Structure 1
Amino acid sequence: MVASTGHEPCELGPIDYLVIELPQGTTTLTEQMTDQIIRSVSDRTLRILELLIVERDGAGDLTVTEFEELTDRGLRGLDASLVEILAGEDVHNLASAIAPGRCAVVIVWEYLTATSFTAAVRASGATLVAQGRIPAQAIAATLRGDDEDA
């Protein structure tokens, strides 16, 4: 995948999104999540492209807190990498996975460790024609022998 910002094109690694429903009564990232995000960004494993907190009330209405509004000072160093790529419709679609009365973190991240491979594919004239993700739960079920869950 190649992105251009009007300057030279840049190679991108695979980009994923996560919707993480938080424990009941929790409305922000846990310290463990914050620490791991900071570590993964610092060691250049991941680049955070979008980070939101989404609350779904009992009636199903959403309250979205943008990254800039978060009070967690530990994440302030991520500002430079955020590009806010999710439109309002995207957020509403992703939020459909959140149970009423719950809160979730929505994260879009790029795997920086794969950018050199992506560049090699492009430089060789090859084209990535399919990409996918196998849920970890499916792999774990297969390894346990739970065929009906895989």
Structure 2
Amino acid sequence: MTQLDVGPIDYLAVEIPGAKLQGGGLNALLDLTDRGIIRILDLVVATADEDGTITILTIADLDGDGDLDLAAFEGVRSGLLGDDDIAQGAALVGPGDAVALLIYENTWAGPFVSAMREVGAEVIASGRIPADDVIEALDILDARDVSEA
């Protein structure tokens, strides 16, 4: 079996207050995919009612401006994101809010992985450092630089 050279696969769960998208997030997502930096494998937007009923929203005009917001991603489902995952994601937000669940490949890493394999190397681990940990570490460095100045 030939192993495909793929980049790391990541996920995001994004809370959408009032189930209304606003701002440039969608444009940034489209830009990342258009430039080949990431490839969307799954994208689902869902809500949970107070009784626990989960509704998967049709990818449509989520911000109410008359334009189809996520048409480029309509029907994007790889099978990696299952019903249990959607239920867990929807449970993270309150009634009336939505959660966007996104699984994506970091395609920028594919050529690097391929080049390393050509010389006999293999990626043996990957992981994520939580953004809050990075921000905290950078804040500590900034505070240290200010006190030394």
User: Please, what TM-score do these two structures have when normalized by structure 1?
Assistant: 0.75
Indicate whether 1:44 and 2:39 are aligned.
Answer: no
| Among candidates 98, 105, 110, match of residue 105 of structure 2 | 110
Q: Structure 2 counterpart of 1:117, which letter?
A: F
Change (3 A) 1:46 1:99: same
Equivalent residue number for residue 64 of structure 2: none
| Aligned-pair identity (%) | 28
Indicate whether 1:10 and 2:7 are aligned.
Answer: no
Larger Rg: 2
User: Please, what TM-score do these two structures have when normalized by structure 2?
Assistant: 0.75
* Distance in 1 separating the partners of 2:54 and 2:95: 9
Indicate whether 1:22 and 2:11 are aligned.
Answer: no
Q: Structure 1 counterpart of 2:28, which letter?
A: Q
Q: Structure 1 counterpart of 2:5, which letter?
A: E
What CA deviation, in whole Å up to 9, does each residue of 1:40-72 have, x standing for no partner?
Answer: 11111111111111102223332123xxx3124
Q: Is the 8 A contact 2:38 2:106 kept in 1?
A: yes
Equivalent residue number for residue 93 of structure 1: 88
Aligned alpha-carbon RMSD (Å)? 2.6
- TM-superposed CA distance for 1:143, in Å, is 1.6
* Structure 2 residues not aligned, in runs of 5+: 62-67, 142-149
Aligned residues: 135
What CA deviation, in whole Å up to 9, does each residue of 1:92-112 have, x standing for no partner?
Answer: 233343334421111111111
* Distance in 2 separating the partners of 1:55 and 1:81: 18
